[in-house]
């Protein structure tokens, strides 16, 4: 296998796991949060910024890169790593969620997904085989199968049909990518039905995949339902392979789902919220546009060692945001990504030390 997982330690008080994932472009420690670089960039950040923050693994999106600049162009540059000058590992999402979010522009069949581009209205078909071809061209370390992401809420029958389609598509992805030199993760669907998720895991777990993702959560369901389903699904997955919860979450979601047995996470929240002036700190949220920060000389977070907190005041960050200056977006994003990656490092250290039960995060 080109992607392997070492389980180093388990927490005696929860299902949390400490591990390492080995990929063609290096090793990263788990539990891990992957900053999202949808279009071959983590918005406003340079490679050197990401490395300084502690990132060793980022996420790209095959749907967006297929439409622009095109996966064949990326292939000509030697793949995403050389195209964007990123030395670490890259996971590419197949784009199933993004395609499904197009709503009436999408038609799903056994063949695949027909859709109109959100950029120019052009028509496209992505089959499971095509999804693999695109990701192989991108050269990611971990590819995701094409899945049908079930909307929420969904009836049992809708969730069942979607789950069964996802399993059939996963088998086609595996068949297409048999000679791959990178990893391939399957995706467990089944909406909020535990029995369907169990059936999905049973169908996928012996399919020769390098890891498993839990999809279809964090889509509007109550938080306790998400935690329960994440833990239930994770417990069914092979212990010797990584478990990835897609699109989740807030800091308290990360901590809760680590305790539920999840190893990998991604979410747009740190970068998107940064661009909207919503900042994560060790004492809670800071909405930097608020007038209370106009003359505030304090750093954004006294407990943070990022460049933003070491060099700039809240007053300056508010000025940049109110003035619409691009530098403000960069400094905000640098801080939020650092906050998330430092939180995961804290969780890993606590797992190592046996003190995970003592870790807390503010409500945001």
Encode 269-308: b = buried (16+ Cβ within 10 Å), e = exposed.
Answer: bbbebbbebbbbbeeeebebeeeebeebeebbbeebebbb
pLDDT at 96: 74
Q: Do 59 and 98 fall into the same domain?
A: yes
pLDDT at 15: 98
Q: What are phi and psi of 300, to 5 degrees?
A: -55, -45
Q: Is 9 helix (H, G, I), strand (E, B) or coil?
A: strand
Looking at residue 127, which CATH number applies to its domain? 3.20.20.105
The count of domains in the chain is 2
Cβ pair 214, 192 in contact under 8 A:
no
pLDDT digits 0-9 by tens, 153-172: 999 999 999 999 999 999 99
**Residue 99, pLDDT above cutoff 80:** no
Average pLDDT for 290-304: 98
Q: Look up 93 and say whether it is catalytic.
A: yes
Output the average pLDDT for the chain. Answer: 96
pLDDT bin (cut points 50, 70, 90) of residue 95 is: confident
**Residue 101, pLDDT above cutoff 80:** no
Q: Is 316 helix (H, G, I), strand (E, B) or coil?
A: helix
pLDDT at 138: 98
Q: What domain range is 352 assigned to?
A: 268-364
pLDDT digits 0-9 by tens, 236-257: 999 999 999 999 989 999 999 9
pLDDT digits 0-9 by tens, 303-316: 999 999 999 999 99
Residue after which a domain boundary falls, among 220, 244, 267: 267
Q: Do 24 and 82 fall into the same domain?
A: yes
Q: Do 194 and 138 fall into the same domain?
A: yes
Q: Do 289 and 206 fall into the same domain?
A: no
Among 93, 147, 210, 263, the active-site one is 93
**Residue 2, pLDDT above cutoff 90:** no
Enumerate the β-bridge partners of residue 22.
4, 27
Q: Do 78 and 218 fall into the same domain?
A: yes
Measured CA to CA, the distance from residue 226 to residue 265 in angstroms comes to 14
Q: Do 104 and 242 fall into the same domain?
A: yes
Among 11, 210, 253, 266, the active-site one is 266
pLDDT at 249: 86
pLDDT at 103: 77
pLDDT at 97: 78
Q: Do 235 and 312 fall into the same domain?
A: no
Q: Which residues contact 2 (CB under 8 A, 6 or more apart)?
A: 23, 24, 141, 180, 181, 182, 183, 210
pLDDT at 327: 98
How many CB atoms lie under 10 A from the CB of residue 112? 20
**Residue 61, pLDDT above cutoff 90:** yes
Write out the two tokens for 107. Answer: 């038609």
Q: Look up 266 and say whether it is catalytic.
A: yes
CA dihedral 251, 255, 257, 263 (to 10 degrees): 100
Residue after which a domain boundary falls, among 212, 243, 267: 267
pLDDT digits 0-9 by tens, 328-350: 999 999 999 999 999 999 999 99
User: Percent of the chain beyond pLDDT 70?
Assistant: 99
Q: How far is CA 335 from the centre of its chain?
A: 18
Residue after which a domain boundary falls, among 238, 267, 296: 267
Alpha-helix residue ranges (DSSP H) falling in 44-186:
47-53, 62-67, 71-76, 80-84, 96-100, 128-138, 156-176
Q: Do 199 and 327 fall into the same domain?
A: no
Measured CA to CA, the distance from residue 307 to residue 319 in angstroms comes to 17
Q: Do 213 and 339 fall into the same domain?
A: no
Nearest to 135 by CA among 71, 46, 77: 71
pLDDT digits 0-9 by tens, 117-149: 889 999 999 999 999 999 999 999 999 999 998
pLDDT bin (cut points 50, 70, 90) of residue 98 is: confident
Enumerate the β-bridge partners of residue 9.
18
- Angle CA(157)–CA(160)–CA(165) in degrees, nearest 5? 130
**Residue 104, pLDDT above cutoff 90:** no
pLDDT digits 0-9 by tens, 188-232: 999 999 999 999 999 999 999 999 999 999 999 999 999 999 999
Alpha-helix residue ranges (DSSP H) falling in 105-155:
128-138
Q: Do 281 and 246 fall into the same domain?
A: no
In the chain, DSSP assigns E strands to 4-10, 17-23, 26-30, 32-34, 57-61, 89-93, 106-108, 113-116, 123-126, 142-144, 183-188, 211-214, 243-245, 264-266, 278-281, 284-287
**Residue 66, pLDDT above cutoff 80:** yes
pLDDT at 1: 63
């Amino acid at each position: 296998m080109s992607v392997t997982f070492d389980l180093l330690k388990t927490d005696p008080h929860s299902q949390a796991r400490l591990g390492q994932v080995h990929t063609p472009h290096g090793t990263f420690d788990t539990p891990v949060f992957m900053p999202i670089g949808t279009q071959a960039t983590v918005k406003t950040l340079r490679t050197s910024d990401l490395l300084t923050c502690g990132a060793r693994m980022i996420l790209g999106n095959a749907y967006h890169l297929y439409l622009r600049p095109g996966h064949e162009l990326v292939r000509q540059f030697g793949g995403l790593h050389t195209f964007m000058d990123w030395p670490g590992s890259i996971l590419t999402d197949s784009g199933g969620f993004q395609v499904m979010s197009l709503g009436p522009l999408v038609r799903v069949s056994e063949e695949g997904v027909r859709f109109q581009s959100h950029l120019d209205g052009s028509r496209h078909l992505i089959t499971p085989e095509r999804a693999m071809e695109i990701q192989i061209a991108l050269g990611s370390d971990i590819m995701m199968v094409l899945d049908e992401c079930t909307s929420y809420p969904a009836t049992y029958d809708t969730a069942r049909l979607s789950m069964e389609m996802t399993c059939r598509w996963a088998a086609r992805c595996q068949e297409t990518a048999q000679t791959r030199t990178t990893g391939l993760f399957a995706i467990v669907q089944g909406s909020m039905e535990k029995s369907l998720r169990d059936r999905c895991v049973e169908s996928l777990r012996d399919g020769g995949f390098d890891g498993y993702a839990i999809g279809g959560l964090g889509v509007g369901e109550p938080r306790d339902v998400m935690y329960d389903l994440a833990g239930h699904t994770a417990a069914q997955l092979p212990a010797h392979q990584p478990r990835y919860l897609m699109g989740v979450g807030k800091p308290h979601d990360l901590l809760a789902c680590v305790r539920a047995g999840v190893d990998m996470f991604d979410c747009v929240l740190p970068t998107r919220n940064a661009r909207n002036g919503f900042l994560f700190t060790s004492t809670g949220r800071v909405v930097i546009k608020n007038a209370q920060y106009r003359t505030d000389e304090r750093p954004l977070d006294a407990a943070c060692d990022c460049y933003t907190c070491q060099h700039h005041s809240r007053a300056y960050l508010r000025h940049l945001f109110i003035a619409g200056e691009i530098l403000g977006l960069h400094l905000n994003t640098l801080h939020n990504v650092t906050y998330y990656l430092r939180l995961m490092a804290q969780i890993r250290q606590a797992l190592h030390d046996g003190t995970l039960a003592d870790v807390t995060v503010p409500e945001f």
